[in-house]
Structure 1
Amino acid sequence: MCWFSGLIALSMLVGMSSPSSAQSTAEPAKGRWTSLFNGKNLDGWVMKLKGSDLGENYKDTFRVEDGVIRVSYDKYEKFNGEFGHLFFHQPFSKYKLRIEYRFVGEQCPGGPGWAYRNSGVMIHSQKPETMSKDQEFPVSIEVQFLGGAERGTRPTGNVCTPGTHIVMDGKLITQHCNDSKSPTLRGDQWVTIEVEAHGNGTIKHFVNGELVIQYEKPQLDPDDRDAAKLLKANNGEKALSGGYIALQAETAPVEFRKIEIMPLDD
């Protein structure tokens, strides 16, 4: 039994019931793009920040302004580890996901150096209700968004693996982050990320229409504390075939203006 197909059986831990926020977007249908963001509010989404209860929007980190979802730190004096994620209420397995994002402004004081202009979207994620109060990141696959610094290369559309592993070129990859072949994108420009996910099969990342990385067989890391709980509940099955989508807040102010999904047959 893989994660997605086992969600119903695991309702106590990773069940498919949605967060309490009302859905305001059309039900995604196979073969066509559907917006997951209504441009007005966070209906259909729920936030989880480290140290806060599910649904508590600590210091108004996630907000909708001027038709975009904005991750903002203007109410923070200093960052103290409050990593956050904004989850869509419905899980997906096989789909195309398209997001337009841009970095704006300065990093929150106290943010770690690696988090400079760093955000992303988590896919195949655990259910937000199953995260512990002090858990930093959901067990998931991260499609990492990076903005360029003044010097050096810094690709975007990378893959990171909190509590998980992937397979690339037939080899199990246990390294946490793996760079894509995208160019470094500096400034406050809008970037289009597209993810094509085929359950436990191939997953591809595209940056501005160009394929930049692909991998397959996402799976739980049995040595990770948070993943081990899910593994136990899933009768030892490591394979991840689907899960939730979540936008990240990692101390970098960022805006998301388009979030669309197209469910696939295979």
Structure 2
Amino acid sequence: MTYMRFSGKLPIAAGLLSLTLTLSVNPANATRLPGEHEVISPLKKGGWESLFDGKTLKGWHIYLKEGQPVSDKWTVDNGAIHLTAGGAGDLVTDKEYGNFELELEWKIAEGGNSGIIYHVHEDPKFKASYNTGPEMQVLDNERHPDAKQGRDGNRTAGSLYDLQKPVTPNAAKPAGEWNKARLIIKDGKAEQYLNGKKTAEYPTSGPEWDKMVAESKFKGWEGFGKYDKGHLALQDHGNKVWFRNIRIREL
């Protein structure tokens, strides 16, 4: 076998190949050449952030009551946020979000009703979070009357409440069982998933959105769906409900 011996200097072509491989394998550490745009690794943006530590309600407050103690009806129960009785008010994040991906698990009591509401604009002229924020429905489909109201199931669990019938109906598990929800809002478009099944897909603004609102109970509501950034809310609809494993990443 013949071995080739190289001097300490690589040929120009080999040197360029080495530089190309280095840039491809580790763009974050590479030195940019004049006129090049920075290569941003997907790992640098959109890291997951926990919204619930499993022990306290730090990072949350009652709608319109920021800085005040959270109602004792919102408790932490075995690693989950638990609404024990109605009358507490909606629980909202201290922080606002625009484009994001949200994941959480929820469990509803028999006959119960609640919701996951986003882009909530907190202002005294709006008395509740649902005055401005669209809602991903949380419901006991078998026992709560809302499941049979509205149109084509647009008030059932996982749906965009009163605005769109489910893309995939009957994705929810029965009352008392945990459901995994996922909500993605990105550049004026939204997708909702329940237990791995897509339940809603829609624009969050524009003619199609305006038509949906005009044909819903929200017709004429000042501020409803008008904000592209806002708080997340867990709804107090008067029934026992649990939420856990809540995390978000900004997009």
TM normalised by structure 1 equals: 0.61
SS in 1 for 2:242: strand
What percent identity do the matched residue pairs reach?
24
What does 1:217-256 correspond to in 2, within 5 Å? Answer: 217-218=204-205, 223-225=220-222, 227=223, 239-256=226-243
Alignment partners' CA distance in 2, 1:252 and 1:100: 17
CA contact (8 A) 1:62 1:71 kept: yes
Cα 1:209–1:245 change in 2 (3 A) is same
Which portions of structure 1, spanning 4 or more consecutive aligned residues, are displaced by more than 4 angstroms? Answer: 132-136, 150-154, 219-222
Cα 1:118–1:177 change in 2 (3 A) is farther
Alignment counterpart, residue 58 of structure 2, candidates 43, 57, 72: 43
TM normalised by structure 2 equals: 0.64
SS in 2 for 1:188: coil
Residue 67 of structure 1: aligned partner: 79
Residue 158 of structure 1: aligned partner: 159
1:255 Cα deviation (Å)? 0.6
Alignment counterpart, residue 95 of structure 2, candidates 90, 99, 103: 90
Alignment counterpart, residue 121 of structure 2, candidates 117, 126, 129: 126
What does 1:147-226 correspond to in 2, within 5 Å? Answer: 147-149=140-142, 155-160=156-161, 176-180=162-166, 181-183=168-170, 184-199=172-187, 201-218=188-205, 223-225=220-222
CA contact (8 A) 1:83 1:136 kept: no
* RMSD of Structure 2 on Structure 1 (CA): 2.9
CA contact (8 A) 1:48 1:56 kept: no
1:118 Cα deviation (Å)? 1.2
Number of aligned positions between the proteins = 187
Residue 23 of structure 2: aligned partner: none
Summarize deviations over 1:9-48 as a string: whole Å, max 9, x none.
xxxxxxxxxxxxxxxxxxxx83322210011111110013
Between Structure 1 and Structure 2, the one with more helix by share is 2
Is 1:117–2:130 an aligned residue pair?
no
